[in-house]
Amino acid sequence: MMRLPPFRYRAPRTVGDAALWLAESPGDTMLVAGGTDLLPNMKRRQQTPRTLIALRGIAELCAITTGGGVGAPGEPSASGESPSPRSGRVGIRIGAGVTLSALVRNEEIRATLPALWQAALQVATPHLRNMGTLGGNLCLDTRCTYYDQSHEWRKAIDFCMKKDGRTCWVATSSPRCLAVSSTDTAPALQALGARVRLVSAAGVREVSVADLYENDGMQYLTRRADEILTEVIVPDTSGWRSTYWKLRRRGSFDFPVASVAAAARLDGDGRVEAVRLVAGAVASRPLSAPKAEALLVGERLTDERIAAAAQAVYEVAKPMDNTDFELVWRKKMVTALATYALRELRGDDTSAVRLRLARQVL
């Protein structure tokens, strides 16, 4: 049996207290909410903080609210860049401590943010969704075949770059770690144009979900060690359609090995006014697909346009040999996932395909 290493446990009741305690020693202190990722990592000695600050008892992190003058990001250009936010647009604020099960049960989330609802629904099992939180899933540690093993296993082959070693065993000449981003909710929220609120003892800042991540398996978050992710801010999605598609070996509970999130706004003639496409689990961060978006803006979602855009998403995907399935096949499956996502946004009935993916054991 793998046991947790010794640590100090602190349970604040406010974000302010948590931020002050975190500022005391951010280098060897970590935050824990549901613990579904951190605690197994600690048992495997992948992470060994001296202090854990528990966020579960902070009520203000567990609310879902509508309104509050949430600014909506401007529409993405063909280059994938978003103009400055437009103020006054009402959206949804979701506390980082909201459990994934609470997201799935929320009818407003299901109706207005289907991509986020689908992503949360497909995380792990009901038991883990009851514990896991939105903030925890956004900050999920990157994964790798050579990293997610017991301490003894990793020691036997020599430790990898991500923990205690110098070599990335996925690509031994790589100057950086290639562990893969396996969060489900991040691609969905990035496609929805969401932002996150980061709080520290020094102040508060907001960044887009897209800017929360770096394409580096070790330094994969731009959140500083002294910051707490407290809230997700989703802009008004009136007129937008969204969806999330996920590939995994077992439809019941596995991490994604490829995923695609898509959000689009269509005009009355079915032409795409704005669109965001994001590929997940094919790099150390979710990847936007600006070329694919540019192919769709101003066009109807015909089979030909969908095929061209799906091919452009395929070109963005950079899977490595560090998780389940062969990397070449995973990359090919990104094309299929992007195709299904865009067909669903067009209005096609894709329920049979989604059900088949959910039930399949590959």
Q: What is the pLDDT of residues 106-130, one digit of tens each?
A: 999 999 999 999 999 999 999 999 9
Q: Token pair of 358, please?
A: 């959910």
Global pTM value: 0.93
pLDDT at 87 over 70: no
Residues 16, 12: Cα–Cα separation, whole Å: 9
Q: What is the pLDDT of residues 156-165, one digit of tens each?
A: 999 999 999 9
| Sheet containing strand 228-234, strands side by side | 64-66, 92-95, 228-234, 195-200, 203-208
Question: Tell me, what's the pLDDT at 88?
Answer: 40
Domains and CATH numbers, the chain: 60-139+181-359 (3.30.390.50)
The predicted model gives 131-158 an average pLDDT of 97
Split at pLDDT 50, 70, 90, the class of 57 is very high
Residues 284, 231: Cα–Cα separation, whole Å: 23
Report in angstroms the alpha-carbon separations of 45 from 1, 116, 330. Answer: 13, 32, 29
> Which has more pLDDT, 11 or 68?
11
pLDDT at 144 over 90: yes
- Strand-strand pairing, 64-66 and 29-32: unpaired
| 293 within 8 A of 275, measured Cβ to Cβ | yes
Residues 236, 238: Cα–Cα separation, whole Å: 6
Amino acid at site 151: H
Task: For the chain, give the mean pLDDT.
Answer: 93
* Distance, C-alpha 330 to centroid of its chain: 18
Question: Tell me, what's the pLDDT at 90?
Answer: 52
Amino acid at site 334: V
pLDDT at 73 over 90: no
Give the position of tokens 């110098």. Answer: 166
Question: Tell me, what's the pLDDT at 340?
Answer: 98
Go through 72-110 and write b for each residue having 16 or more CB atoms within 10 A of its CB, e for each that does not: bbeebeeebebeebeeeeebbbbbbbbbbbbbbebeebb
The predicted model gives 32-54 an average pLDDT of 97
Burial class, 114, CB count within 10 angstroms (exposed 0-12 / middle 13-18 / buried 19+): buried
Split at pLDDT 50, 70, 90, the class of 82 is very low
Question: Tell me, what's the pLDDT at 358?
Answer: 80
Question: Tell me, what's the pLDDT at 68?
Answer: 56
Strands (E), 50-139: 51-54, 64-66, 92-95
The predicted model gives 267-291 an average pLDDT of 98
Sequential DSSP letters for 236-289: --TTEEEEEEEE-SBTTTPPPSEEEEEEEEE-TTSBEEEEEEEEESSSSS-EE-
Question: Tell me, what's the pLDDT at 110?
Answer: 97
| Residue 123 three-state SS | coil
Burial class, 282, CB count within 10 angstroms (exposed 0-12 / middle 13-18 / buried 19+): buried
pLDDT at 178 over 80: yes
Question: 3-state DSSP helix/strand/coil percent for the chain, to nearest 5?
Answer: 35, 20, 45
The predicted model gives 181-192 an average pLDDT of 98
Percent of residues, the chain, with pLDDT higher than 70? 93
| 235 within 8 A of 89, measured Cβ to Cβ | yes
